[in-house]
Amino acid sequence: MKPNTKTRDITAYLALVASCLIFGGCVSKFQLPGANKSQVRLGGLSNRIDTSFGETPRAMQALSAVRGREYDFVLYSLKENGQSCLTADNRREAPVSVRVELSREDNVASDRNFPFETVIPPNTKKCIARMSRLYKDQDFRFQFNNSWMPGDFSARHSPKDGYQLPWQQGESYPVGQAFGGPTTTHSDNANRYAVDFTMPIGTPVLAARTGTVVNLEERFSVGAFDKALMDKVNFVDILHDDGTIATYSHLAEKGVTVHLGQLVLVGERLGFSGSTGYSMGPHLHFVVWRPQYGVKEYEQLSIPVEFCKSDRNACAPVEYGTIVPNRSASPKFGKKE
């Protein structure tokens, strides 16, 4: 999309949102006009929404702290029969974790105790809290902060089946970074248990476990050891049946071969490795995670995993500096194309 067209689209969209908010909506997250199948994964989002009701409803304001391109999820206040319904609308394939707290309340009654956390299932729209007047002859006003992130904060990792090595059988690649070894970029909770496999650009990347494609990006072409490129990375996110999400990062430009909502089996190709984003060189960054609420917002909490070098036998964590062969013999565990 050309910049001038995009600017006009966004301006028009924001004007539409403003006009819609007069009677009780505060959009804390929306999808940019013109967004296609490629969606950048989002960090914890923190917003504040100020809501007041009197004889004449006032326009409401939303302060949005946005990172990267938008995930298709909205949280807004909807006026219904003199009440305010805090509505979450998840229009995508992954569950979304939400935390809401009241920062101000005047003459407010609610069916929820604040703060609270909840999970909105995929493709679901629901009222997560109802606000009304405590004393019927007075106006009421409230202000709340919210943070949300794709994924289920209550997910419990199921490690029993282990993970396939995410490349074809018979191939071997060195571990450039892993838990317990020297740390270059894996110093935070989101990457503590991540693994970097050094491999040439264009290497087929396979699903390490069966799941559903819930997010992806493939439009970026540049990679360098520059934190300004942190969010400019190609990746695929796979939602597993235990609620955890695996991220395969630094994929090649236009190197994703799956689509949103697709069920992929273990050993199926997701795309091709690259060196896009914040990267020191060609490699595959692999991490399994779930959301966790931190100090002010959600963050990704990485989870230790074990890789099975030969089917589901002898599964163990990989170690920094080792060369890891995929000796899998099972057609579903890394069959060579």
Q: Among 88, 56, 81, 75, which residue's Cα sits nearest to residue 133?
A: 81
Asked whether residue 60 carries a pLDDT value surpassing 90, the answer given is: no
The predicted model scores a pTM of: 0.78
* DSSP-derived secondary structure letter, 170: T
Start-end ranges of CATH 2.70.70.10 in the chain? 163-325
Mean pLDDT of 280-308: 95
Helices (H), 87-172: none
Torsional class of 218: left (φ above 0), alpha (ψ -120 to 50), beta (otherwise): alpha
Instruction: Return the number of other C-beta atoms located less than 10 Å from residue 169's C-beta.
Output: 20
CB 277, CB 230: distance < 8 Å? yes
Amino acid 22 reads I
Q: Is the peptide bond before 159 cis (omega within 30 degrees of 0)?
A: no
- Tens digits of residue pLDDT in 241-252: 999 999 999 999
First-to-final CA distance of the chain: 36
CB 329, CB 310: distance < 8 Å? yes
CB 77, CB 59: distance < 8 Å? no
**Rounded-to-integer distance, Cα 326 and Cα 335, Å:** 10
- Tens digits of residue pLDDT in 193-247: 999 999 999 999 999 999 999 999 999 999 998 999 988 999 999 999 999 999 9
CATH topology of domain 163-325: Glucose Permease (Domain IIA) (2.70.70)
